[in-house]
A and B are shown apart, each in its own frame.
Chain A
């Protein structure tokens, strides 16, 4: 458990991902279709505080997403950018999700990698972009301090919320493409 938690989020070997998911779906066509459907759903029934969109209309495998920091958390008022990278057997394998915006958080390391079980071994095809975004949004308010990537943050979260908030604000800066 510890090992997988500590491993870099993006480094989940594709073979393992493939093993986790039944291998029945051919890549390409159905993945694109699924992503299109998800986009449509996302647009038609947007959840507050989260949004996502493909970077390039021609290639649906890379998306950018935005999460607004929830109120009543140290992240309130901040927005965070993320990237989604969909493997070509998506949704049978989890997308690779990274924070673009530097974030000070117990379960996110300094290069933006996230420790979240549903992005690893708990992934199922029933999850989608929106659920992932909402999970991440709730993770901001309720970090899993039992398996931190950022030990200091985990410690401060409990001991010194003031200091934590300061660190959060100190670390946050808006990334804007180009």
Chain B
């Protein structure tokens, strides 16, 4: 059956030589065909089978040719037969198993093949007369190509149906490997001979063959194969490099070297070796490998370091690393191009990884493939790449890093190490600015939140780049936005004023509804000032000095400290806004002064100093005037106010120019007080020459002790209230019926009536005085039932009166304001000057406008009030009003 089929095929092939067919017993052209014997196909010498043909030819040839041609024919025939033997021997049959391996036949057959091969390879020497010879190598190449396409390729394709990438790959490679082995076995036989004949020629031939074969094989590589290859290599590379894809979370983690990684390294190298054997470790493979390595680096950086910011996490790694390099001299794997003065753990780690694992794999793979060596420069480049990746990662994370300040110091350190070029710095600020805009600067974020972020930003960026250039670049939109928020200043102030400790003395944790951070900063902020002072000139001893960053703008001024408060306040326009807010707040003043400088707060400063100094001066004056220990003198013993001693007089000395105008009432102070004041004055003027003391009588406090018949009353009162009650002291003891009328009091005390009334109301409220009849008051020495009831009623009435008339103490003072009178007098001068000189008659509007514009400290009255005032002047005959215009009366 097989014999018949093959016979048929041979017949067919004899007429139409099939290119793919393996065996060509004779050359295509008939060797020496002067004629053809009947029954033979022209041009084809022997269509017979392998076994019969040689024998039949052998029997025919001697008889067929003439003598002179006999040698030629003989040699041609011999060559033909050698060719046949060789090609037959080399051709691949279906039953490869039989011909495979070393058991390729008997020894005699091998010998015959060797003989034949020698003939074929070297016809010019061995068979010089054979006119038609051919090269065996091109034939072999051709033959291999046919065989591959015919037999191996279909098999290869069928193997691509496999689903499992690993199996697919190993199957495919096995097929290819088999084919390769087969092809090269044949080749090696030829080459052996060639080497024997022409040393050196063999290698060239092998190369050429290899190239041809590679061309054939590579065109037949399928996409499935490539995909599988990618998959398998990726898994090997990732495993080896310690990047683990966790199925359950879909997340990645990095692992350290282990048996598992070694295993995959070996697998990987085995695979590469196999690929190399079948010539598939070509450019395509290298591209795939390169892509995978790049992905691996991305994955390692992004998964290994993404979100790993804390220094704590890193320190553990550092320990590991320290253990590793223990004993070795200090060596940093970080490339020279990055900052090394403060090493960042992540970068150090990453560089180590690149050096020890990444590069190692690359070196080994390259070694297997047999292409150029990996140089140290390459490794450096990879390190830089990895750091670049890290920088990218951190840049994208920066907003979150900032938000988690101060827990992300490690990440900032990474960035600091990695952000070295202006391009990266620019990229960083761009990315951050857009993140800021997207995530913070919208109406959904509270001002507090924005401010907190801003503070974190200042800290973080200062840690990142203490030149402030980066911060300035990103902070501008934020500042602009903050200015548009109305409550910014208020929140900052609240923050500054908030308590840094709660009532138990436990520090308040930041992050509440106040910017406690600010208060903390303010309270500890002295150390920053020293730095500021030395900012102006170069510190020649500063070993950490670096030039200004290249991307610093013009007018850039280096400031080394992260001056949060200064920055915050500088942002929001003028310091005055804040100073205004702070003027009354003594607690903060000192600190603020340190921050803003002396000048703007000078008057506050003087006011404070006055109060402070007053204590001292007071002490000094009292001592010098012997006002302290004068109980013994007790000259003023008859008063109810002071039984044992003259009253102690303390004064606060204010510098008039720096204080706001204080309202004052002048009245006659009690004699003993006046006496004390005089002595005090003398003492003061001797202490501070060329200073004069002016008493503001109404602004004091007095402690009054009233000894009444049935009770003693202690009161802390205003001096004018004390003065009024002083007026009731009994000249003669036991005179309980002492009464005073308001008129008397006004006259006696030289005090405004409203003030007197106010004081009287006060004492009635205290049940010390009672109104005997209208405007006549007496001391309520004893509180009997009746009096009590009476005074109760009066107290209620007094309170009601005070309420109704609104004549409470301060208003009583405000109403009868002498300074106001002075002011009005001055305004009157203005009006006179105006009417006299500018224009002899003016309407109310114009007068008001002139006054408003010309009086430097401002004209506080409304047009109606002015009109009233002018009306008074008209009635008093100083002005006249005609046709709506005021005019001076001549």
Contact = CB atoms under 8 A, between A and B. Distances in A.
Interface in A42-65: 42-44, 46, 51-58, 63-65
Interface residues of B, number: 17
B838 A44 contact: no
A39 B830 CA distance: 9
Contacts of B838: 53-56, 64
Contacts of B856: 36-37, 40
Contacts of B850: 57
A37 B626 CA distance: 45
Contact of A52 (B833, B849, B855): B833
B319 interface: no
A64 B837 contact: yes
B358 to A, nearest CB: 71
A3 interface: no
A39 B857 CA distance: 13
Contacts of A58: 853
Contacts of A81: 837
B834 interface: yes
Nearest to B825: A44
Nearest to A43: B829
B837 A57 contact: no
Interface in B817-854: 826, 829-830, 832-834, 836-840, 849-850, 853-854
A57 B854 CA distance: 6
A40 B832 CA distance: 13
Nearest to A62: B838
B837 to A, nearest CB: 4
Q: By CB atoms of chain B within 10 A, which of A56, A57, A81 has the most?
A: A57
A177 B834 CA distance: 13
B840 A176 contact: yes
A101 B21 CA distance: 139
Contacts of B849: 57
A46 B856 CA distance: 18
A44 B829 CA distance: 7
B840 A177 contact: yes
A53 B839 CA distance: 10
Given A44-B826, A46-B829, A177-B840, A53 B834 contact: yes
B837 A53 contact: yes
B854 A42 contact: no
A51 B833 contact: yes
Contacts of A65: 837
Interface in B483-526: none
Contacts of A177: 839-840
Interface majority SS on B: helix, strand, loop or mixed?
Answer: helix
Interface in A140-172: none
Contacts of B834: 53
B854 A36 contact: yes
B837 A66 contact: yes
A51 B854 contact: no
Nearest to A42: B833
Contact of B836 (A37, A44, A53, A56): A53
A54 B832 contact: no
A43 B825 CA distance: 9
Contacts of B832: 51
Given A64-B837, A64-B838, A54 B854 contact: yes
Interface in A112-162: none
B854 A39 contact: yes
A43 B840 contact: no
Contacts of B837: 51-53, 55, 63-66, 81
Contacts of A40: 855-856
Given A65-B837, A176-B840, A177-B840, A43 B830 contact: yes
Contacts of A36: 854, 856
B861 to A, nearest CB: 16
A177 B829 CA distance: 21
Nearest to A177: B839
Nearest to A83: B837
A30 to B, nearest CB: 14
A31 to B, nearest CB: 15
Interface string B29-63: 00000000000000000000000000000000000
A36 B850 CA distance: 13
Contacts of A52: 833, 837
A51 B826 contact: no
Interface string B331-364: 0000000000000000000000000000000000
A1 to B, nearest CB: 33
A53 B853 CA distance: 13
Contacts of A42: 833
A102 B850 CA distance: 28
Give the residue among A54, A66, A176 with the most B Cβ atoms within 10 A.
A54
A58 B849 CA distance: 10
Contacts of B833: 42-43, 46, 51-53
Interface in B182-198: none
A87 B849 CA distance: 25
A81 B832 CA distance: 15
Contact of B826 (A37, A43, A63, A176): A43
A44 B457 CA distance: 56
Contacts of B854: 36, 39, 54, 57
8 contacts: A40-B855, A40-B856, A43-B826, A44-B829, A53-B836, A57-B849, A58-B853, A66-B837
Interface of A: 36-37, 39-40, 42-44, 46, 51-58, 63-66, 81, 176-178
Sorted nearest first, the 4 A-B pairs with minimum C-beta distance are A57-B853, A64-B837, A53-B837, A53-B833
Given A46-B829, A57-B849, 15 more contacts: A40-B855, A40-B856, A42-B833, A43-B829, A44-B829, A52-B833, A52-B837, A54-B854, A56-B838, A57-B850, A58-B853, A63-B837, A64-B837, A66-B836, A177-B840
